[in-house]
Structure 1
Amino acid sequence: MAGAAGNQGRAPWQATVLTLFPELFPGPLAASLSGEALEQGVWALETINIRDFGIGRHRAVDDTPAGGGAGMVLRADVLGSAIDAASIRNPEAPRIYLSPRGELLTQAIVRELAAAPGVLLLAGRFEGIDERVIAGRGLREISIGDYVLAGGEVAALVLLEAIVRLLPGVVGSTSSLEEESFESGLLEYPQYTRPREWEGASIPDVLLSGDHKKIADWRRIEAERLTRERRPDLWGAHIKKGS
């Protein structure tokens, strides 16, 4: 989907998305830094329509749940064929199923996937997918949060944006990545810029002092305060890690 003009001979990081709605991609990933990197061949995106592997004249992809119940379930034979076809080009790519019951997406998982040669994402629909596909094709289930979406496409876009911005050459300054929320296990410290005074509120004096050690200390203290107040789960893990 993108040329290799800016890739300097490296194979692009390859994302393949299995979906019933390929028209949703690249969506917001075509904008800003991720879009520029896509055009430059830093990463590549392929969408595969699950319905192309559907059964019969009507290309059926789902059926009623075994044992009864509401909704429909994506068929094992359809998904198995789709995953097999998608894996030919990049067989070493991790296979991810975006699922609300999966492990919660973290920055550590994002870094892990950014270091892989790419990723194969399965965006489910309806009541989910046949359980046999998960074991039979070695799918890793990942959730972007404790809520339910209509399908996995939005979750796939979230995961891809988080990964792509970590790829070499996408974000100009690596130091800006290192200081962001979750990279150190803490939320990010507050940020300020001009004007110095706005609606009666001022930039903290320490940030204008030019004293880099004092600024670093203030930022660390503020990051710890925000994490302790807003994310006690992260704070507990941070304290445990430091002990």
Structure 2
Amino acid sequence: MRIDIITLLPELIKSPFEASILKRGIEKGLVEVHMHDLRKYGLNRYNQVDDYQYGGGAGMVMMIEPLDKLIHELKAEREYEEVIYMTPDGETLHQGMANHLSTKKNLLIICGHYKGVDQRVRDLYVTKEISIGDYVLSGGELGAAVLCDALIRLIPGVISDETSALTDSFQDGLLAPPVYTRPADYKGHKVPEILLSGNLPAIEQWREDQAYERTKNRRPDLLKED
């Protein structure tokens, strides 16, 4: 997989890819992540990338010309299966979306800023708009990093135990059940006996029951039928 990220702040988004699972995926050659500084395509000697919005109103807007130049250059080198724009009014990121995107070969992510990008960029190039929640950040970089983490960890070989990702919360529509490790008794707080029994079918049933109960108590919206 290759991910290209268009950003005004490449130094902000680089750090997540220099540690932990994301770094491991890159070092294994399972994923490539490339940052593209939009200001290098800015206008005039000030490398301008934003301007006042037509019709008046507070806040600046990212201009179409610098984005058009960079996107055109990138698309000339490869075909992208999705051109993603990180925006608060996009579809909320969920596990099914991450699963789907993790199977793609080439993704292009645009990080918004200010009041957003000129609508013509969205109309001409963007194929998918994604939000990481109902709140506003100062830019799309942190959202892009969250998206990349969510899908890169699903690529076979990135996580040592590939079955681990398949048992995460939301993979089966439920939250994950409680988990325990040693010691079995810590200051009187004991691990449930069923987990020490060695009875694997009974343990799996316990986990399913616990996952359902946790979901019902904490996220009942996940259990609602369409």
Same fold (TM over 0.5): yes
Residue in 2 aligned with 1:222?
Answer: 210
**Aligned partners of 2:180, 2:169: CA distance in 1, in Å?**
16
- The runs of 5 or more residues in structure 1 that have no matched partner are 1-12
Q: CA RMSD in A?
A: 1.3
Task: Write the distance in 2 (CA, Å) between the matches of 1:101 and 1:172.
Answer: 35
Please state whether the residue corresponding to 1:162 is helix, strand or coil.
helix
- Cα separation, 1, equivalents of 2:59 and 2:175: 39
Partner of 1:33: 21
CA distance in 2, matches of 1:230, 1:187: 9
| One of 144, 147, 166 as aligned partner of 1:159 | 147
Q: Percent identity?
A: 38
Partner-residue secondary structure (3-state), 1:119: strand
Q: For residue 190 of structure 1, what is the amino acid of its counterpart?
A: P
TM-score by length of 1: 0.89
Structure 1 contact 133–139 (Cα < 8 Å) conserved: no
Q: Is the contact between residue 79 and residue 106 of structure 2 (CA under 8 Å) also seen in structure 1?
A: no
Contact 2:13 2:142 in 1 (8 A): no
Separation in structure 2 between the aligned mates of residue 233 and residue 131 of structure 1, nearest angstrom: 33
Shift of 1:51: 1.0
Equivalent residue of 1:225, what SS? helix
Where does residue 5 of structure 1 map in the other structure?
none
Tell me the equivalent position of 1:42: 30
Unpaired runs of at least 5, structure 2: none
Task: Measure how far apart 1:39 and its partner are.
Answer: 1.7
On the 8 A contact 1:100/1:143 being kept in 2, the answer is: yes
Q: Please give the per-residue CA displacement for 1:25-59, whole angstroms capped at 9, x wherever unaligned.
A: 33122212221221221111111111111111211
Distance (whole Å) between structure 2 residues aligned to residue 135 and residue 199 of structure 1: 60
Q: CA deviation at 1:81?
A: 1.6
User: 1 CA distance for matches of 2:80 and 2:144?
Assistant: 19
Question: 2:150 & 2:85 partners in 1: Cα distance?
Answer: 16
1:74 corresponds to 2:62: yes
Give the Å deviation of 1:106: 0.8
Match of 2:86 in 1: 98
Query: Aligned partners of 1:231 and 1:118: how far apart in 2?
Result: 33
Query: What is the CA deviation profile of residues 120-170 of structure 1, one whole-angstrom value per residue up to 9, with x for unaligned ones?
Result: 100011111111110111331100011110000000000001111111210
Residue 20 (structure 1) aligns with: 8
Match for residue 62 of structure 1?
50
Mapped to 2, the partners of 1:114 and 1:88 lie a distance apart of 23
1:187 paired residue among 172, 175, 180:
175
Q: Secondary structure at the match of 1:128?
A: coil
Larger RCO, structures 1/2 (Cα 8 Å, 6+ apart): 2
CA positional deviation for 1:223? 0.3
Aligned to 1:169: 157
Distance 1:217 1:110 in 2: 27
TM-aligned CA deviation for residue 198 of structure 1 = 1.8
Counterpart CA distance in 1 for 2:29 and 2:183 is 39
The CA distance in 2 between the partners of 1:202 and 1:89, in whole Å, is: 58
Match of 1:147 among 111, 122, 135: 135
Contact 2:85 2:126 in 1 (8 A): no
1:228 is aligned with what amino acid?
K
User: What is the one-letter code of the residue matched to 2:72?
Assistant: D
Inter-partner Cα distance in structure 2 for 1:172 and 1:126 = 39
> Which position in structure 2 is the counterpart of 1:86?
74
Distance across 2 between alignment mates of 1:201 and 1:122: 48
